[in-house]
Amino acid sequence: MSEVREREFDFTDASFERIRQFVSEHTGIVLTEAKKNMVYGRLSKRIRKGRFDTFDEFCDALEEGDEDEQEFMINAITTNLTAFFREQHHFDYLADTLIPKLIEQKGHNKRLRIWSAGCSTGEEPYSIAITLKEALPDFDEWDVKILATDLDANVVAHGKKGVYREERITGLPDDMIERWFKRGKGDNAEMVRVHPELQKMITFKRLNLLQEWPMNGPFDLMFCRNVVIYFDKDTQRVLFDRYADILVPEAHLFIGHSETLYKVSTRFESLGHTIYQKV
């Protein structure tokens, strides 16, 4: 209780429940009691700016349909942890196993469609693009497009811009950095920009996975990593069923290291290492 009294603003269980309800309805994300302090920390900045005096007033704005506050809420609550070539084994599998298989399956139909769902600030789709550029023979003869989507409009805009702090590429091979990143100069000396060739391959869009999807697919492979962990099992079942519907037969699905389709979906079979194939 002492922690609550020390807070700058009163954050009651009732206010937290209203926020949980909004987040659940609009994103499908389940906020547990353990997230209460995190929610307070992210939202108190909005209260402090002076538009609202209390959390209840903020909740009123959400429930009355204030689009600015709703967008802020969604952006504030979604977690965007990512890195270039995060979970390297997925990209190794893509380069060494899946691309040769796709070349064999496709034959003369050199069309490839990929979906990066929950793309965050763009490191994942750019890592996919680099892998394809470097591992796909005769790349210029292929029609390759990557769709990158996220619920958070801010990170989508970041990804589309393709500019990152130089520290984000620390650890990547020097030759890869030389090929695919341009270092900034002057005021931008600590920044890097991804190569325009990579940007041309990727379309960034804001998308709520739980709402209607504007695209029809079909996609040949999909990355959806560390996204469904925020949803309950029933929502996960619905999502993976929709994923299966929009993927081609035998398409591959890559999920996060702490996720599983066990007792969630029977439409994919595990290939190990959080890699699945559509049945």
pLDDT of residue 6: 64
* CATH architecture, range 88-278: 3-Layer(aba) Sandwich (3.40)
Percentage of the chain lying above the pLDDT 70 cut: 96
Residues of the chain predicted below pLDDT 70? 1-6, 78-81
Architecture of domain 2-77: Orthogonal Bundle (1.10)
3-state secondary structure of 123: helix
Predicted TM-score (pTM) of the model is 0.82
For residue range 84-96, what is the model confidence (pLDDT) as tens digits?
999 999 999 999 9
Angle between helices 13-27 and 55-63 in degrees, nearest 10: 30
Residues known to be catalytic: 42, 150
**How many alpha carbons fall within 13 Å on the CB side of residue 108?**
0
Q: Domains of the chain: which residue ranges?
A: 2-77, 88-278
DSSP code per residue over 43-54: HHHHHHTTS-SS
Spatial contact of 230 and 28, defined as CB atoms under 8 Å apart: yes
